[in-house]
Amino acid sequence: MDELARYRGVRVIAAMSGGVDSSLMTALLRDAGADVIGVFLNVWDYAREDVSRHGSCCALEDAYDARRVADQLGVPFYAMDMRDVFRRDVIDPFIADYESGRTPNPCERCNRFVKFGALLGVADQLGARYVATGHYVRRIDDEDGIHILKGEDAGKDQSYFLATTRREQAERIIFPVGSLHKDMTRELARRYQLPTAGKHESQDICFIPAGDRIAFLKRQGAEAGFREGDIVDTEGNRLGRHAGIAHYTLGQRKGLGLANGPWHVVALDGATARVVVAHPEDAMICRVEVGEFSWLRRPSADDGLTAKLRYQMQPACCQVTELENGHLELCFEKAQKPAAPGQVAALYHGDELMGGGIVVAAR
């Protein structure tokens, strides 16, 4: 509460998803004396989907739960229609990526374009200085400006998904639960008697609540992702056939059905409908080219940097070089598992998130 005292009397938009994290966040801000307005983002028409259980972020049940929490806490509440923005900036790129052989990260795009893009516009309309989210990320302000750090709970840290956030966006975002561990979040939610205290978390993509990515892509008409093609090695030798590149992800080794394995998927070519595989020792990479990079803080010359190319990856030491085309090249000290175009590359100095971008190529 001491950390949140600075927001007393300040208008803050609480991005309420209907889960326990954003519910507690709203309660903490209210008790800190902030002028809180709860906002739920309606991003997808769930009437199209067979939603058979709770836990799908931003689903109909979540809107109901968010409103219940806001009513209990006595804060104003609005449900905002963001379906067109979400379709344009998240759904359509997600489909296009799977058709082309890229690996999308829809949560990153939602944060960048919807939660920290369109929602800041809503904050301006409502006269709010900040937007608060339930991400497990910490923010520290000092004479050098803002610093975005990993969440205190290493098992729940979500800084990776904020890597492409622009600095001017980050300056207006706060993370009230970032210093808590998940078990404490639930305990505090129980003390507040919040109806979401025991609500389970979904591991699914929010707009695919049943978890069936292939069925979703087919319903959305992603035909290019389901063209039959060849499975080849890195020399172009044909090893087998496949039913569409959308069935595969970079680094995949199970379900390939190839002799003389093990094999790892190392490339997906949407233009030729080819799946390229290699033996594990040939699948590792040392260099990654990253585009669309946003610096939250530029490192000094002696700052040691690490990078994550996947959410579950342990940060690995790397050297960073700026290329003539404006991209960055990450050169890892130790070889890493394959990285796919479309994945997020997040750069860190210790626990501080320095920035991030989108993988363009890896070798």
Q: How far is CA 310 from the centre of its chain?
A: 10
The reply to whether 243 and 336 lie within a common domain is no
The reply to whether 332 and 275 lie within a common domain is no
The reply to whether 10 and 91 lie within a common domain is yes
3-state secondary structure 125-147: HCCCCEEECCCCEEEEEECCEEE
Confidence of residue 89 (pLDDT cuts 50, 70, 90): very high
Rounded distance, CA 352 to CA 34, Å? Answer: 27
The reply to whether 28 and 103 lie within a common domain is yes
Q: pLDDT digit string (tens) for 295-325?
A: 999 999 889 999 999 999 999 999 999 999 9
Q: pLDDT digit string (tens) for 218-269?
A: 999 999 999 999 999 999 999 999 999 999 988 899 999 999 989 999 999 9
Dig out the tokens for 263 from the structure.
Answer: 């094999």
Give whole-number Cα distances, 143 to 92, 147, 170, 298, in Å.
41, 10, 16, 15
Contacts of 215 (CB under 8 A, 6+ apart): none
Q: Are 265 and 251 in contact (CB under 8 A)?
A: yes
Active site residues per annotation: 110, 206
Res 59 pLDDT > 80: no
Q: Is the dihedral of CA 123, 126, 129, 135 positive or negative?
A: negative
The reply to whether 11 and 116 lie within a common domain is yes
Domain boundary among 258, 282, 306: 282
The DSSP symbol for 116 reads I
The reply to whether 118 and 39 lie within a common domain is yes
Average pLDDT over residues 83-101: 95
Q: pLDDT digit string (tens) for 271-294?
A: 999 999 999 989 999 999 999 999
Domain that holds residue 270: 227-282
Helix axes 20-31, 182-191, angle to 10 degrees: 60
Q: pLDDT digit string (tens) for 115-134?
A: 888 899 999 999 999 999 99
Does residue 299 sit within a domain? yes
Contacts of 93 (CB under 8 A, 6+ apart): 104, 109
The reply to whether 327 and 348 lie within a common domain is yes
The DSSP symbol for 94 reads H
Confidence of residue 13 (pLDDT cuts 50, 70, 90): very high
The reply to whether 254 and 288 lie within a common domain is no
Q: What is the mean pLDDT of the chain?
A: 93
Q: pLDDT value at position 210? A: 74
Confidence of residue 57 (pLDDT cuts 50, 70, 90): low
Dig out the tokens for 131 from the structure.
Answer: 């937007």
Closest CA to 108 of 173, 159, 174, 168: 159
Closest CA to 341 of 160, 105, 113: 105
Q: pLDDT value at position 204? A: 72
The CATH number linked to 72 is 3.40.50.620
Rounded distance, CA 357 to CA 352, Å? Answer: 16
Q: pLDDT value at position 47? A: 53
Res 347 pLDDT > 50: yes
The reply to whether 267 and 323 lie within a common domain is no
Q: pLDDT value at position 3? A: 86
Does residue 348 sit within a domain? yes
Q: pLDDT value at position 58? A: 54
The reply to whether 271 and 331 lie within a common domain is no
The reply to whether 93 and 186 lie within a common domain is yes
Rounded distance, CA 79 to CA 76, Å? Answer: 11
The reply to whether 186 and 323 lie within a common domain is no
Rounded distance, CA 122 to CA 127, Å? Answer: 9
Q: pLDDT digit string (tens) for 176-217?
A: 999 999 999 999 999 999 999 999 887 678 888 778 899 999
Confidence of residue 54 (pLDDT cuts 50, 70, 90): very low
Does residue 32 sit within a domain? yes
Q: pLDDT value at position 55? A: 45
Contacts of 347 (CB under 8 A, 6+ apart): 163, 299, 305, 306, 307, 320, 330, 353, 354, 355, 356
**Helix spans in the chain (H):** 20-31, 60-73, 83-86, 92-100, 106-109, 119-125, 167-170, 182-191, 213-219, 280-283
Interior/surface letters 67-86, b for 16+ CB within 10 angstroms, e for the rest: bbbbeebebebeebebeebb
The CATH number linked to 269 is 2.30.30.280
Domain count, the chain: 3
